[in-house]
Amino acid sequence: MRTCPHRPPCPGCPRFAEPGIAAVHIRALDALAAAHGLPAVPIFSASDAGFRHRARLAIRGRVGAAKVGLFELGTHRVVHIPHCSVHHPLINRVAAVVRAALSDETLTCYSDGAHLGIARYLQVVVERASQSAQVVLVANSPTIEPLTGCFERIRERLPSELHSLWFSAHTDRSNTILGPSLERWHGPESVIEHFGGAGIHYPPGAFGQSNLQVAQAIIGYLRAQIPAGSRISEFYAGVGAIGLSLLDGARELRMNESNPHSLRGLELGLAQLDAPSRARVSVLAGTAAAAREAACEADVVIADPPRKGLDRALCEILGDRPPALFLYVSCSLDSFMQDLERLTSRGRLRLTAMRAFDLFPFTAHLETVARFEPRT
């Protein structure tokens, strides 16, 4: 049986070594499918070792003995996790290098109670193609000056494994990870990934999936559902991981997003397209509710909302004026079931297929992709 040296008290993998998604979710999905006349829901799983290409870790502890890891549940006590088996190995290596650099520079670690200390959080994103790491050091400092020696040591000790190095000032008393601004100290502006289509750009402030193998499978599944030459409207598009990966088969693509960091990543991705491809894409900046009319002008609508689910106004327009095909990518079964009721309550839209993806191994979460079509 697999064991983890950090459990307990590390809370990161509450179902560590349990295969697949939680049984309670399998039962809920199958019951939901049966209620809509569908077969048992297929489940896609991939490797559960070293799958995380993205991590946000807290830094706490004493000078010379920093702890880099996750908070124990309900506390600000950090569990040091130098040998995390679900991290890509480079994340563990970067964390070790950062920890040593903090020690060598005698930098203090942040204390939540006293609101003192410099080093606060570490974000690491691994780019698959280059096997290098985009590194963000978040500090309780308005300027980068206290960290310049530490940054020099990190760059020196990660010569070929460092993609870029960033500073984020976070001087407020809050539980957010990144501060309001990001300052690039070294390297390119974005990590670039490919999921079977155009390059997808991830600046450090933009949202990105940590399990890229399963994310790629989700995008491949979506591609197989969409007729060639479709007019597509995508809501909650982020940096364009789904939409830009489907662009080669689309007649037109409209992409809605509100987060400025994600919009910057989308801008970088669009700038790399050839002129004919770029001409087929339009960006609708703002909330999904404000952009909801784009759902009525598309053959296919795709939505990948945050955990709270669809904006109510978008949900209502999809249920009242359904497109030929609506593909819903959900990261919360609870909000999906609420939205399902709203989407189908007018009797104009029906659930026609579901598939589950084990995007978050060893946790209580899963990703569900649902296909909706108009009732005939």
Same-domain status, 44 and 58: no
Which CATH number is 115's domain given? 2.40.50.1070
- Region of 20 on the Ramachandran plot (φ > 0 left; ψ -120 to 50 alpha; else beta): left
Tally the C-alpha atoms within 13 A of residue 299's C-alpha that lie toward its C-beta. Answer: 11
In sequence order, the 6+-apart residues with CB closer than 8 A to the CB of 228 are 249
Q: Is residue 221 domain-shared with residue 249, that is, in the same domain?
A: yes
What is the number of structural domains in the chain? 2
Verify that 276 and 181 share a domain, yes or no. Answer: no
What is the mean predicted confidence (pLDDT) over 205-232?
98
pLDDT in tens, 35-76: 999 999 999 999 999 999 999 999 999 999 999 999 999 999
Over residues 157-204, the pLDDT tens digits come to 999 999 999 999 999 999 999 999 999 999 999 999 999 999 999 999
Average pLDDT over residues 225-229: 97
In this predicted structure, what is the pLDDT of residue 376? 83
Q: Are residues 173 and 219 in the same domain?
A: no
**Quick check: is 237 in a domain?**
yes
For range 24-33, the mean pLDDT:
95
Does 179 fall in a domain? yes
pLDDT of 1 above 90: no
Please state the rounded mean pLDDT for residues 119-125.
98
Give 2's pLDDT tier (boundaries 50, 70, 90): confident
> Residue 369's beta-bridge partner residues?
329, 355
Q: Does residue 79 form part of some domain?
A: yes
| Residue 161, domain extent | 54-188
Provide the pairing of β-strand 300-303 with 230-235.
parallel
Confidence at 240, pLDDT banded by 50, 70, 90? very high
Is 11 a member of any domain?
no
The proportion of the chain whose per-residue pLDDT surpasses 90, expressed as a percent, equals 99
User: Would residue 14 count as lying in a domain?
Assistant: no
Q: Does residue 32 form part of some domain?
A: yes
Terminal CA-to-CA distance of the chain, rounded, Å? 51
Q: What is the C-alpha to C-alpha distance for residues 147 and 143, in angstroms, rounded to an integer?
A: 9
Residues 155 and 236 in one domain: no
Considering the domain architecture, whether residues 106 and 218 belong to the same structural domain is answered as no
Q: Which of 207, 158, 211 is nearest to 185 (CA)?
A: 158
pLDDT digits 0-9 by tens, 74-115: 999 999 999 999 999 999 999 999 999 999 999 999 999 999
Tell me how far the alpha carbon of residue 69 is from its chain's centroid. 19
Q: Kindly state whether residues 234 and 326 are assigned to the same domain.
A: yes
Is 196 part of a structural domain of the chain? no
- What does the pLDDT look like over 128-168, one tens digit per residue? 999 999 999 999 999 999 999 999 999 999 999 999 999 99
User: Which CATH number do you get for residue 308?
Assistant: 3.40.50.150
Per residue, the 3-state secondary structure of the chain, as one string, reads CCCCCCCCCCCCCCCCCCCCCCHHHHHHHHHHHHHCCCCCCCEECCCCCCCECEEEEEEEEECCEEEEEEECCCCCCEEECCCCCCECHHHHHHHHHHHHHHHHCCCCECECCCCECCEEEEEEEEECCCCEEEEEEEECCCCCHHHHHHHHHHHHHCCCCEEEEEEEECCCCCCCCCCCCCEEEECCCCEEEECCCCEEEECCCCCCCCEHHHHHHHHHHHHHHCCCCEEEEEECCCCCCCHHHHHHHEEEEEEEECCHHHHHHHHHHHHCCCHHHHHCEEEEECCCCCCHHHHHHCCEEEECCCCCCCCHHHHHHHHHCCCCEEEEEECCHHHHHHHHHHHHCCCCEEEEEEEEECCCCCCCCCEEEEEEEECC
Look at residue 254 and tell me if it is in a domain.
yes
Residues 231-245, mean pLDDT to the nearest whole number: 98
Pair (225, 362) in one structural domain: yes
28 and 157 assigned to the same domain = no
Answer yes or no: do 76 and 103 share one domain. yes
Q: Kindly state whether residues 245 and 180 are assigned to the same domain.
A: no
Residues making up the chain, counted from first to last: 376
Same domain, 229 and 367: yes
**pLDDT single digits (tens) 304-360:** 999 999 999 999 999 999 999 999 999 999 999 999 999 999 999 999 999 999 999
Of 93, 98, 97, 91, which is closest to residue 119 (Cα–Cα)?
98
The whole-angstrom separation of Cα 323 and Cα 303 is: 13
Closest alpha carbon to 16 in 26, 3, 32: 3
Contact 80, 65 (CB under 8 A): no
Model confidence, pTM: 0.97
φ/ψ of 15, rounded to 5, equals -115, 35
